[in-house]
Structure formats: structure tokens, C-alpha cells
Structure 1
Amino acid sequence: MSVLDRYALSRRRLLTAFGGAAVTALSIPLESGKALAQPMFRTYPFQLGVASGDPSPDGFVIWTRLAPEPFEIGYGMPMAPVAVDWEVADAANMRNVVAKGTTIAPPELGHSVHVEVAGLQPNRDYWYRFTAGKERSLVGRARTTPALGATLDRVRFAVAGCQHYESGYYTAYRRLAEENPDFVFCYGDYIYEGRGNRVSNGWNGPTENVRQHFGSEIYSLDDYRRRYAQYKMDADLQAAHAAAPWFTVWDDHETDNNWVGELDQDGTDPKLFNLRRQAAVQAYYENMPLRASSFPVGTSLQIYRRAAYGQLLNLNLLDTRQFRTDQPCNDRQSWCDAITSPKAEVVGAGQEKWLMDGLTGGKTTWNVIAQQVMMMDLDRDPGPGVIVNPDSWAGYRIPRGRLLGKIRDAKVGNVVVLTGDEHQNFAGDLYVDGTKREAAPIASEFVVTSITSGGDGNDQRDEFAKIQAANPMLKFNNNQRGYAICEATPKAFVTEFKVLDAVTRRDGKLSTRAKWALEDGKPGIVQA
């Protein structure tokens, strides 16, 4: 029995179920001889836009979620499955459809759909859209990855994340969409879990938020669904999703600030926290363009994965939350003996082996580790003491040193680490111990600033000018909002830090703050 057969609905059931969400219902004949009814919505059902993700040489995922009334209980949908038609074309005008079908938006998944399109040509653009009843979504652009082993001149992609809704407008996403990247790597903190606040207390004292979260802190599945809906209703974010396929990973705020494993920051009983995790995991899957291989199971979700761009770039996406041990030093920036605990883990033994297998088994020019928290061994005390961020790799000396040591000993070259979380831009080199540097860096890291988190910012915080001077591995630091554009060619990997002069108004001006590069076969970054 097919999925459509299993979910086929009688006209009476659908009319009853839709109530206020639909005025009438239409029956569409299926090959099985049964009929699947579709609604006619009173309110536009594609309020949350469309997205594509996890591309492969022959396809990608296309995503949408039906939510005519995003903040209402039941988000304006019946507790019944709904048919959604989809189309993929080889031009933006959608005249030449190359793939199409009908899928189901089930209530169990918040009426989201994740269509895994296959059978397409490698390394080319496609466009897609959805139809439910008589309603049609906007058109999105996706792009397949190159054929395995293909020779490429370049790959150009964007890096973004940390998009606190209350802190500013998503102008950076509108500008990112105009870049027409091959893909977007979102490093996490797609939503923030806190209650709505009129005022925030930042570095420069209290400031009035430019917009406000709907509701209180989020705990239940319905809470998380509404929070995702509020973020996804932003037109600039929708434009960025519609512009290119995304590779998404989560960090902490998609669940709760600084969570790791079964632990939250408040010491909640793990049994209770796991109930929250389960709601957060499901909502994350419902709202991201992920494949069925990432379908949630209880509190877990398979989020570390890999993609190849011909012989040019090997993209390794990590999960630094699910398998991590508790932060040392009571999760306060300081120094304590637990930082050197031999039992500490960041990615866990299984994921670490998977990563090393990918780094040593590939034959690409550039080996990219796309992840969430800073890997640089940054001492945040410019004086004689040592202070580290315990929620970064610097708070986990043993697993950090072990991973970098393995990369060094295996002679893996051209390793680039892409990171977020810090709400600042950083560029620097990686050593097993930043205070006892080897002759050459093992890898280099580009930490990309937030879309909005932290507010307008400035060129550099006073304390970080001193921190940069005390950490010779750190070559660049900036405290503005924006995103990065990375371009990989056979000769170089260049990161361009794009920043806005303001995010608390919609007309923030975009500029390039700096470019830093790695040359093929030459360890250590240089200014481009």
C-alpha cells in the first residue's frame, strides 16, 4: 500500500476536519482509484516560505510547511493529512518541469513536507514550488552538487547563523540572497528559546528591542513550532532560503542555552530535560530541509553528515552538542582542572572516527570542518592568567588536542574549520597548544559573526584588541553583524567577511570588512 493510499481521506472526513481552516474540499483521483481531498484555504498556507537543502549530485530536499495561522493552536490546520503537489523545473519561469509529484503533509510533523528529489543533472541550478489546493508557494532555487570526482574551477558559498529575532532585522539575509551562492552553511542558533522581552541588557546597557518574541520561554512542541514560525515569517530569511540550498546544523539555542547531552544550564532532572529535547528535536526536523536519514528518534537526530564538491571540497558537518560532556568550571569563563579532564568529549568517539575517516579517505583539495563552537585555543585573559570559554573547544583540552594531533599525524592538508557561536568575526590558525605552537599550523579557522545576535556592534571591542595582541594565532577580530562568503578554488580558499553598519534599522549598509585566505599547500592564513 502506497503512502497516498494509506493517507487517502474521504470527502466527509476532510470537510469535518478542516472546519474553519478550509471553506470547501476538492477530490483528486489517484492511480489507486481512491481519492485524496484537498482544501481551499481562507488564509495563505505558505506563510513560512520554502527551502531546499542537503543537495547531492542528482537532487536535493525541498521543504515547506503549511501554517495558515502560525501563532494559533493548530496553526490553522486540521489534525488530518493534506496532499501537497510539488514541481521542479530547469528555469525560474517554471515552464519546463523536469520532476513533479504529490506528497503528504502529515499533522504528526506539523504539516511539513520533505521531498527528496532525485534523477537530476549534477552541478546545475533548478527551481521548485509547491501547491496545496488552489494555493501556490513562491519559487525557490536549488542546486545539485557536482558529480563525484568532478574537476571544478570553484565553489562559492555562504556561512551564517545566530539570528536572534529581537536583536535586529535580517537585512544580512537579504544581501546574502543576492550573492547567489552555491549553498549556505548555517552553523546554528537558528532560533532563540527565551521569552519575549521589550528591553535587553547588552554590553552598552539597556536597549529597546526592535521586535519581540511571541510568548514566554519555549518548552513544548507547540511552543517550538510557534517560535520557528515567527522566525520563518521574516521575508528576508525566506529570501535567503529561496536563493540556495542550505546545509543546516544546530547549536544550543534550538533547544536551550549551552545544553550538552542530557544536561541543561539549570540543573534540570535529565528525565525532564529530555522531554524538552524531544520537542526541540522534532520541531527542528519539521522546520529544516533535512533528509529522512535525519528523522528524529526520541531525543536524538542524525545531524553530522558529509557532502563532496567534486575533487575540490570535502564538507564535514559536525554535531558538538549531542555527544558532549558537561562544560567545565561550572560553565563560567575561567580556568579550572576540569578543562584537562581525560574523560571529556566534544563530538564523541564515534563521530570523531567518522570525521577522521572522511578527512583521511578523501582526495579533495580542501577539507572543511563545518561546526558550531570555536576551536582556536584562545586565552581570553590578556594579562598573565589564562581564561577560556568553557563552551568552546578550548574548554576541552584533551579531545581538542587529540583531534588536531590526529589531523597533524595523518598529514591531512588544507584543513579549514568554519565556526559560529561567538557573535564576532575571527580568523586564525590552529595548533595543538596555542601557547606552544608547532612550526606550522595544523589547520586554520574562520569564525563567522551573527546575523543579528549582539545588536549593531562596533569594529572591535576594547578587550578583544588586547586579547588579539596576547594570542598570536589570532590574526583578525571584528564585532559587527553579517555573514561570510567563502570561495574555494584549486589555488586558494578565501573567506570574505561581510558586515553591516547596523541591524537595528532595516537600511543597514553592507561592506566587506576583510578577506583572509589559505593558499593550497601552504599552512597558515594570509590577508587577501
Structure 2
Amino acid sequence: MTAPSPDRRRFLAAGAAVLGAAACAQPWLPGTARATGRPLPDSPFTLGVTSGDPLPDGIVLWTRLAPDPLNGGGMPDAVCPVEWELAEDERFRRTVRRGIAQARPELGHSVHVDVRGLRPDRPYWYRFRAGGQLSPAGRTRTAPYAHQRGGALRVALASCQNWQHGYFTPYADMLAQDPDLVLFVGDYIYESAPTSTAVRRHEGEGEPYTLVEYRNRYAQYRTDPDLAAMHASAPWVVTFDDHEVDNDWAGEVPQDPDKQSHDAFVARLTAAFQAYWEHMPVRASAVPHGPHIRMYRRLEFGRLARLNVLDTRQFRTDQATTQQGAEASSMTMLGAGQKRWLLDGLHGSPARWNLIASQIMMAETDLLPGDGKLWSYDSWDGYQVERNALLAEFAGIRNPVVLSGDRHLTMISDLKEDFADPDAGVVGAEFVGTSVSSNGDQDEVAFHAQWDPLKADNPHWKMIDCHRGYHLFDIRRDGIDAQVRVVDSVVRPQATARTPARLRVEADEPGVHVV
């Protein structure tokens, strides 16, 4: 994508204009529910708009009708037609596509419009109308032409936004930086029960288990104004980690199988995936089938970058509990099918940069000072054989860069062919992005007292930091310039942002360097 121009740095006002109380629909529409003939409740677009998964000729547009967002949505149990419009200008004087989508009650009255026939590498503006009421306007952008060389791509990496731990203030700064794309690698919501000591209290009475409960939790998160503004300003590419369902789940195994039977957890997975689909700007290929959803996929940005989005939850074996277990050859994070898909996509890539969105940290974290190893078994360290085999493949891949989350800290590392060998070659770079709000405002002194003694055992770490925020990447043919963007606080609705570190990955030189 071309470098952002000054006019793209203006954010579109997100106020909804009410145009009247027209009836919602015709008497009958295809589907399982009757179309309502009554006016819609006021303010159906409380959850805003967003777009996602850009193609050179297409984009997914999303909204959900929810006039009472924290109580099941508040819509009639009926199909409602929603008009959509896509234009080349923010005043909608040059409309290029328009149509009608059906907001269905069995899908939470969510709307996913997969628009095609667009021009590559250009901005578009979009909006929705239902019951005579107009949504906020959103801005999006298509990917470059498939064979385009050069150009630039600005990507923001985010993850781990816990409503109860703080406000989503990093998004206000992200909005000002005007990325071409937001890559969110997991923990969009947290399934934890409400607590009275939280900065902001979760809705509901406990953890979500049913579809309505998950819908309410997503709806609460969507009402954060900074998150809503960022959703409306750029296309998103999303994948989930564990907290969208249950902490540290693996395959069809919950965190606490002694408390959640297999059948009960399968029902929970089914509800969680349905709510996830309803709230994310993803294509119909991701429509869930019971407790299964297809989220690993590949997006192209000309010949500049190929983005491989992983699913490190559905296909993994249950976490090991010992070092010996973590070194077993039977342990898999990706599953056989996804692993073949990933390797085929890496080896056959025509792109300058091969990006891998992995929810879980890939580089080693040795938690034991001195001799021996101590690993976190939920990360790639708990799947040693598969991880090491994948890193060996990286040696034959052009410019592999892993973008991760999960850890609630910034941890930027060289990826090595063998972390047990100090002299092993560097085969890539990894950026573990800090959390948007999870862990709240951490004590820097305590953080460094915990982590600094481990640096000698992890010489591949290039930078660690405990602040909340996100990472920003400017990707060009000759290199990737990365900024660690952090805020001073997430316990207040406003914050001040800064850049504590800048890093660079040179093309065809594996590893990352602090600038």
C-alpha cells in the first residue's frame, strides 16, 4: 500500500444521523423468521461499524443491529433488511457499490457484506441504514494489486484487551498513527466474571457460557469509544486466542475438565464461536459449524507481504505438564493440516516479507536462571519438537517475521534454529506485542526485578517492556521499521502515548535490531 497521505489522517465523525422512523421491512423475507413491520427501536447501531480481510478487489463490511446491546441486543425476533453503501469519497457523492443485506435474529442481527469488484490499493467509505436510521461512517482500504512490487504497508499489532483491567486508551494513539491495517491476534474479550474491584466492571453475573451471554460480553467491549473509533478507521484482520472461550483451552479440552464436562465445553465452544463470528469482519468461510470454525487463512499485499494468520487453539494437543511432556514428538500446536498449509504457503510465497500471525509466543522463554530450563507450556515452548521443526524450515524462507501476543508485555526476539545452542543461526524475528489493557498499569520496578535476571538465559531477547500499548510497523521492500507505542496509563479514559523503542528488520538479514 502507498504511504498514508495527510488527508487520510483525519478521522471520520462517528455520530449517527437519525433519518426517521420508517418501517423495517417488507412483509416476508427468505429465512427462518418473519420480517418485522414495526419501526426499529432507536439507535440500532450502538456497536458501530468495521471492515476486514482486504483483498485487491474486495473487503468485508460489518455491523450489528443492537439498540439494547447488553441485554441480548434488543431487536425484534425478525429478519431486518439493512441497506449498505460504499463510496470513493467521505461525503458519499461517488457511490460505487450499494445493496441490501439481511440482519437475521439467529445471527444476532449481525451483517457481513463481502463487497467485490473494487479497485486495488485505495480508500473507500461505507455506511449502513436500517429502519430509516443511519450508521456511523467507516473508512476502509483494499489491498494492492496482486503483482504490485514496492510500496509501503503500515500495520498496527494489538492483542489482549481486558475490559476490567482498564480503558482501551492505546487505540486513541493508534488512530492518530493511521495504520493501513490493524492485526489483532487474540483475547478480544475476556470471559472472566465481574469483580467489584475492577477499573470497569464486566456485565452479567458470571462467566459467559451461553450464546446470549457471549453476545452481551462482545457488545460491552464494542461500546468502548476508542475501540469503536479504530474499528471505523481501518480494516482489521483478526484471530482468537483463549479468552474468547475459556482460559488456556486446547482443542476440546477446557482449562478445568473436572468442572466442565466434554459435552458442556463443546456447547460452550459452539456459543463462543457463534458470538465471535457475529462480531468480527470475516468472510463466510469462517461461519462456524458447531464447535468448529475456520480461522487460519492467508492475505496478500502485492509482492510486498504475505500474511499467514494462524489458529493455535483448535488443533493443539492438551498442554504438557512437564519438560519431558513438552519435548514429546506427539505434541502439536497447529495440527497436521494447518502445518502443511503454513509450510506450503511459506515455501511457495512470492512475497518479499512472510508474516506469521501467531497468537502465542514462538521464541523461547527460559524462566529458570542458570542451568536447566523452565518453560510456560501454553506457549510454543510447550510444543518443542514442532516449534523447532518449524524454525528449521524458516532457514529456507525469505524474511519470516512472527507477530504475536498473549504475554501482556513487549518481548522482541531473534528466532533461532535451536535455542539450546548459543551458536545456532538466526532464522527470523518475532514481535510479541504488549496488551491493550490486560494487567493494567504495571509496576516497572517489580517488572524488571522479575524479568531482568532472566536476560542472560535468553540472549535472543532484544527488548522487553511492561507498558500497555501496541506495535506499529512500516513495511517496505528494504526493511521493516517498528515502533513500540505505549501509553502512560489505562486506568483513566485518556492517556499520553510515547515510543520507548524503535527497531528494524533488514530485508534478507534474519533477526531484529534496536535502532
TM-score, normalised to structure 2, is 0.92
Change (3 A) 1:26 1:291: closer
Query: What are the superposed Cα offsets for residues 300-350 of structure 1, whole Å, 9 maximum, x if unpaired?
Result: 111000011111111000000000001111xxxxx5310111110000111
Matching residue of 2:296: 304
Which residue, out of 411, 416, 422, partners 1:426?
411
Aligned residue in 1 for 2:286: 294
The answer for the alignment partner of 1:82 in structure 2 is: 80
Q: In structure 2, do the counterparts of structure 1 residues 289 and 39 end up closer, same or farther at CA, with 3 Å as the change threshold?
A: farther
Deviations 1:400-436 (A, max 9, x none): 111112222xx11211000000000011111232120
Q: Which AA in structure 1 matches 2:232? A: A
CA distance in 1, matches of 2:147, 2:418: 35
2:148 maps to what in 1? 150
Distance 1:373 1:383 in 2: 25
Change (3 A) 1:26 1:188: closer
Alignment-mate amino acid for residue 112 of structure 1: S
Which residue in the other structure is 1:280 paired with?
A: 272
Q: Answer whether contact 1:418 1:445 (CA < 8 A) is retained.
A: yes
* CA-CA distance at 1:519 after TM superposition: 0.4
Q: 1:212 to 1:340 in 2, by over 3 A?
A: same
CA distance in 2, matches of 1:345, 1:80: 44
2:244 maps to 1:259: no
CA change 1:259–1:30 in 2 (3 A) is closer
Structure 1 distance, partners of 2:36, 2:265, is 40
Aligned Cα root-mean-square deviation (Å): 1.9
Q: Structure 2 matches for 1:182-197, cutoff 5 A?
A: 182-197=180-195
* Structure with the larger strand share: 1
Q: Are 2:250 and 1:245 equivalent residues in the alignment?
A: no
CA distance in 1, matches of 2:506, 2:498: 24
SS of corresponding position for 1:308: strand
Residue 493 of structure 1, aligned match among 473, 480, 486: 480
Q: 1:31 to 1:491 in 2, by over 3 A?
A: same
Aligned to 2:126: 128
* Distance in 2 of aligned mates of 1:438 and 1:81: 63
Q: CA deviation at 1:36?
A: 6.8
Give the aligned length: 488
1:48-67 → structure 2 map (5 Å cutoff): 48-67=47-66
1:394 aligns with 2:381: yes
Is 1:445 matched with 2:430?
A: yes
Deviation at 1:161, TM superposition (A): 1.3
Question: Which segments of 5 or more consecutive residues in structure 1 lack a partner in the other structure?
Answer: 1-21, 200-208, 330-334
**What's the offset of the Cα at 1:29?**
10
Q: Which residue of 1 aligns with 2:330?
A: 343
- CA apart distance, 1:24: 7.0
Cα pair distance change 1:43/1:27, threshold 3 Å: closer
Return the alpha-carbon distance in structure 1 between the equivalents of residues 372 and 388 of structure 2. 21
Corresponding residue for 1:205?
A: none
Q: Which residue of 1 aligns with 2:449?
A: 462
Counterparts of 1:27 and 1:427 in 2: how far apart (Å)? Answer: 52
Equivalent in 521, 524, 527 of residue 508 of structure 2: 521
Contact 1:400 1:432 in 2 (8 A): no
Aligned counterpart, 2:7: none
Q: Distance in 1 between matches of 2:38 and 2:129?
A: 11
CA distance in 1, matches of 2:497, 2:346: 35
The CA distance in 1 between the partners of 2:450 and 2:29, in whole Å, is 67
Deviations 1:111-148 (A, max 9, x none): 00100011110001001000001111100111000011
The one of 459, 463, 467 aligned to 1:480: 467
Using a 3 Å threshold, how does the CA distance of structure 1 residues 135 and 391 change in structure 2: closer, same or farther?
A: same
Distance in 2 separating the partners of 1:150 and 1:177: 27
Query: How far apart, CA to CA, are the structure 2 residues paired with 1:26 and 1:255?
Result: 34
Q: What amino acid is aligned across from residue 341 of structure 2 in structure 1?
A: W
In structure 2, do the counterparts of structure 1 residues 105 and 92 end up closer, same or farther at CA, with 3 Å as the change threshold? same
Q: Distance in 2 between matches of 1:234 and 1:496?
A: 24
Percent of counterpart pairs with the same letter? 43
| 1:7 aligned partner | none
Q: CA 1:175–1:39 in structure 2 vs 1: closer, same or farther (change >3 Å)?
A: farther
Secondary structure at the aligned position of 2:512 is classed as strand
Distance of 2:249 and 2:201 partners within structure 1 = 24
- Cα distance in 1 for partners of 2:232, 2:361 equals 29
Corresponding residue for residue 13 of structure 1: none
Aligned to 1:270: 262
Q: SS state of the match for residue 23, structure 2?
A: strand
CA distance in 2: counterparts of 1:509 and 1:152, whole angstroms: 34
The aligned amino acid for 2:299 is A
Alignment partner, residue 211 of structure 1: 200
Q: CA deviation at 1:70?
A: 1.3
Q: Residues 34-62 of structure 1: CA distance to partner in whole angstroms, max 9, x if unpaired?
A: x9766533320001111100110011000
Q: Is the 8 A contact 1:312 1:365 kept in 2?
A: yes
